[in-house]
Amino acid sequence: MNEKWKSAFDQIHAEDELKTRTKEYLSEKIYHRRAAPRPIFRRAAALAAGLLLLCFIGGSWFFMTPTAYISIDINPSLELGINRFDRVVSVESYNEDGEDLARALNITFMNYSDALDEILSSRSIEDYLSGDALMSLTVAGDNDTQYTEILDTVETCADGRENIQCHSGNTEEMHEAHDAGVSFGKYRAYLILHDLDPSISLDDIRSMTMREIYDLIDSYDGDQGTENTGTRADEAGTGTEAGTGAEAGTETETADTGYEPGSRPGEGHGQGRQHHREHGKREND
In the predicted model, is pLDDT for residue 63 greater than 70? yes
C-beta separation of 196 from 205 below 8 A: no
Question: pLDDT band at 159, cuts 50/70/90?
Answer: confident
- Which H or E run includes 160? none
Taking all residues of the chain, what is their mean pLDDT, rounded to a whole number? Answer: 74
In the predicted model, is pLDDT for residue 201 greater than 70? yes
Cα–Cα dist 120/78, whole Å: 12
Q: Is 149 exposed, middle or buried (0-12, 13-18, 19+ CB in 10 A)?
A: middle
In the predicted model, is pLDDT for residue 284 greater than 80? no
The pLDDT score that the predictor gives to residue 43 is 75
Q: Report CA Rg, the chain.
A: 37
DSSP string, 243-281: TT-PPTT--PPPPTTSS-TT-BSSS-GGGTTS-TT--PP
In the predicted model, is pLDDT for residue 277 greater than 50? no
Cα–Cα dist 120/158, whole Å: 9
pLDDT in tens, 238-266: 333 333 433 434 333 333 333 333 333 33
Q: How far is the CA of 95 from the CAs of 75, 76, 206, in angstroms?
A: 8, 6, 9
In the predicted model, is pLDDT for residue 47 greater than 60? yes
Q: Which amino acid, 99?
A: E
Residue 88 has what DSSP assignment?
Answer: E
Phi, psi of 79 (to 5 degrees): -130, 130
In the predicted model, is pLDDT for residue 12 greater than 70? no
Q: Which amino acid, 88?
A: V
The pLDDT score that the predictor gives to residue 42 is 74
pLDDT in tens, 120-130: 999 999 999 98
The pLDDT score that the predictor gives to residue 68 is 94
The pLDDT > 90 percentage for the chain reads: 47
Question: pLDDT band at 155, cuts 50/70/90?
Answer: very high
Nearest to 83 by CA among 151, 182, 150, 138: 150
Question: pLDDT band at 223, cuts 50/70/90?
Answer: low
pLDDT in tens, 74-85: 989 999 999 999
Q: Which residue has the higher pLDDT, 45 or 246?
A: 45
Average pLDDT over residues 182-211: 93
In the predicted model, is pLDDT for residue 227 greater than 80? no
The pLDDT > 70 percentage for the chain reads: 61
Q: Which residue has the higher pLDDT, 50 or 170?
A: 170
CA dihedral of residues 100, 102, 105, 110 (deg, nearest 10): 170
The pLDDT score that the predictor gives to residue 269 is 33
The pLDDT score that the predictor gives to residue 84 is 93
The pLDDT score that the predictor gives to residue 44 is 72
Q: What is the pTM of this model?
A: 0.63
Region for 143 from its dihedrals, namely left if φ exceeds 0, alpha if ψ lies in -120 to 50, beta otherwise:
beta
